Structure 1
Amino acid sequence: MDKLLFGDNQFFGVNHMSEEKARAQSMRFQDIGAVIDVLDAAYDEGVRSFMCTTHDRIALVAEHMRANPTRYADFSFLPCMPYAHKYANAVTEDGMLGALKRFMPEDGLINAAMRGGMSIARKDVEGIGTLLIDAEMAMFRGLNTPVIFVQNVVVDLLLGLGFKEAFRIFADHIKNRYGAEPGFITMNMPMLVDVLEEVGIKNPIVCSNINKIGFRMCGGLEAYERTLREKEFRAIAMSVYASGALPAREAIEWVCNQPNIEAIVFGASSRGNIRNTRELVEQYWRGAQPVGAA
């Protein structure tokens, strides 16, 4: 896993501090060409792992990468699922079967129908869950997906419900079907790490907010620092700038000096900001390896 990962919040108008900025970004990136331009800038700066939702428009990005394999030989997608609005819209427009056909690859339709039908009949959560994972992954066929994440909206719901075995189901399916590593995004990293350890997922990849001021870090900064010091897992830090509340240099220096940080995910809309983040990470990261080095 690269130590610097590029996120997609800016492409879909997500900004936790400014609604005005979010709207402006959403308008700018309505054209998929504008998204590709920023991804090209990141790629040329050495940031070649794209941690993205499974939004419908990401399928257009995936098509572009498939059509240009030489240009993007080292490009990796790190899908984050599910994207709930996509399912709701598809079912509304096409019905349940039509939604399934839209998302599943053609060669998987019979398998999906059998697995889905039997699962619903038996109320088999594992069968239904793995079917939905396969539906999400259809857009990435033929592309490099070394880590596949489940989104915090699902992770934290499962934590709240106490449905711990679901994490094991997800991890096993990702490893067995896609030869990838499972990742988990959460707003409560200390609790999740304990649960993953409990269900036997060793050295998991866990992505959560990690920043100097404790912004959106459920359980508090002290609990996060203790978990980073004491637990065996691979942490990915997101929201390191606390949505702009921290100066870039201060934020990167702090997070790069925390123990057990394997990677940082960040979003940017310009080559200058991408380059600035890359240079700061290379300056402060332990060992000072170039971005892109494992």
Structure 2
Amino acid sequence: MTIEQQVQLPTATKLDRVLFGDNQFFGVNHMSEERARAQAIRFQRTDAIMTVLDDAIDSGVTSFMCTTHDRIAEVVERVREEPARYEGFAFMPCMPYAHKYADAVTELGMLGALKRFLPEEGALNAMLRGSRSFATKDIEGIVTLLVDAEMAMFRGVPTPVVWLQNVVTDLLLGLGFQDAFRIFADHVRTRYGAEPGFITMNLPMLVPALERAGIENPLVCANINKIGFRMSGGIDAYREALAERPFRAVAMSVFASGAIPPQEAIEWIFSQPNLESIVFGASSRAHVAQTVALVREFAP
């Protein structure tokens, strides 16, 4: 029994109240470097990742908001191999994974990195499109090429939402390239039949920019929590945007990396207007079960 079954609407994807994240699998912890290192060591094996994902599924979580880290390709393969076990389980890729590209360029050079990440299907077309894009500064070709390259690992599994990572979202926002948001959204919808989402570290600035780009009622994921932890622009600006702007919010860092007690964090976040879902990471069955139970208690 899931928390809330995903329902396809005419213009939007209805999200589960709880999305499971992958920071803990790759040594990301915003409060403790020591804990991050310990988690990175623990999850060096794909079996360890799958154990936690299975715990999340057994607790009723069916949506995995993940990066396009190379290890995720192994997770996708496991899910493909057991369709009955993972029926209804959906991936929500967040792209691009910047460290992957940086490491590849260092190891293989620029051309080698491009060849490595080209989609297998239509590789020649993608290569030509990429070369033309770089030569003419055609942002549409570059954006669609990168999306197609990142999506290659998810063939054969459900991907109802595709997210643009904050490292790119906020760069485009700062440069004023609002057209790129529309290009990304259109490509994700038309090629993959998915809902586009945008991750940001500055929600109050991004939402008006998406409106100006003509993206209606967008999915936006940002840090939202009771103490204003990592909320650029201040908590008041976020609460104003939640109350007044037409968008669908997904909250991350809800627990402020452990600074807010779980019940207090969940009760507060679901008292905010316009909140669609939360995304959280956990490395134990008990933590997953506790979070799911609190959402069931406090989510409207």
Task: Say yes or no: TM over 0.5.
Answer: yes
Matched, 1:259 2:296: no
Q: Residue 100 of structure 1 contacts residue 135 of structure 1 at CA under 8 Å; is this kept in 2?
A: no
Gap runs ≥5 in structure 1: 287-294
Partner of 1:144, secondary structure, is coil
106-115 or 93-102, larger mean C-alpha shift? 93-102
Q: Where does residue 112 of structure 1 map in the other structure?
A: 126
Matches within 5 A, 1:38-57: 38-57=52-71
Shift of 1:165: 1.1
Q: Any residues of structure 2 matched to 1:53-202 within 5 Å, and which?
A: 53-202=67-216
Distance between the aligned counterparts of 1:187 and 1:157, measured in 2?
A: 11
Write the distance in 2 (CA, Å) between the matches of 1:17 and 1:95: 34
Count of matched residue positions in the alignment of Structure 1 and Structure 2: 286
Q: Return the alpha-carbon distance in structure 2 between the equivalents of residues 121 and 22 of structure 1.
A: 40
- The corresponding residue for 1:6 is 20
Q: Confirm whether residue 270 of structure 1 aligns to residue 294 of structure 2.
A: no
Q: Tell me the secondary structure at the aligned position of residue 106 of structure 1.
A: coil
Residue 155 of structure 1 aligns to a residue in which SS?
A: helix
Deviations 1:96-115 (A, max 9, x none): 44433433332220220221
Q: Structure 1 CA distance, aligned partners of 2:39 and 2:174?
A: 33
Q: Is the 8 A contact 1:103 1:139 kept in 2?
A: no
Same amino acid, percent of matched pairs: 68
Match of 1:207 in 2: 221
| Partner Cα separation in structure 2 for residue 147 and residue 239 of structure 1 | 20
Deviates further, 43-52 or 96-105: 96-105
| Paired residues of 1:4 and 1:47 also in contact (CA < 8 A) | yes
**Letter of the aligned partner of 2:214 in structure 1?**
G
Find the aligned partners of 1:190 and 1:257 in 2 and give their Cα distance. Answer: 19
Deviation at 1:91, TM superposition (A): 3.0
1:35 aligned partner:
49
Is residue 105–residue 138 contact of structure 1 (8 Å, CA) maintained in 2?
A: yes
Structure-1-length-normalised TM-score: 0.95
1:11-54 CA-partner distances (Å, limit 9, x unpaired): 01111111111111111001111001000110111101000111
Shift of 1:89: 2.2
Instruction: Output the CA distance in 2 between the equivalents of 1:152 and 1:120.
Output: 22
Is the Cα–Cα contact under 8 Å of residues 118 and 127 in structure 2 kept in the other structure? no
Kindly provide the amino acid, as one letter, of the partner of residue 164 in structure 2: V
* Paired AA for residue 194 in structure 1: P
Output the aligned Cα RMSD. 1.1
Counterpart secondary structure, 2:239: helix
Question: After the TM superposition, which parts of structure 1 deviate over 4 Å for at least 4 consecutive aligned residues?
Answer: none
Whether contact under 8 Å (1:237, 1:261) holds in the other structure is yes
Q: Provide the rounded CA distance (Å) in 1 between the counterparts of 2:144 and 2:182.
A: 12
Whole-Å separation in 2 of the counterparts to 1:197 and 1:234: 13
Q: CA deviation at 1:276?
A: 0.2
Q: Which moved more, 1:91-100 or 1:105-114?
A: 91-100
Q: What letter is aligned with 1:133?
A: V
CA distance in 2, matches of 1:106, 1:260: 40
Name the SS for the 2:226 alignment partner: coil
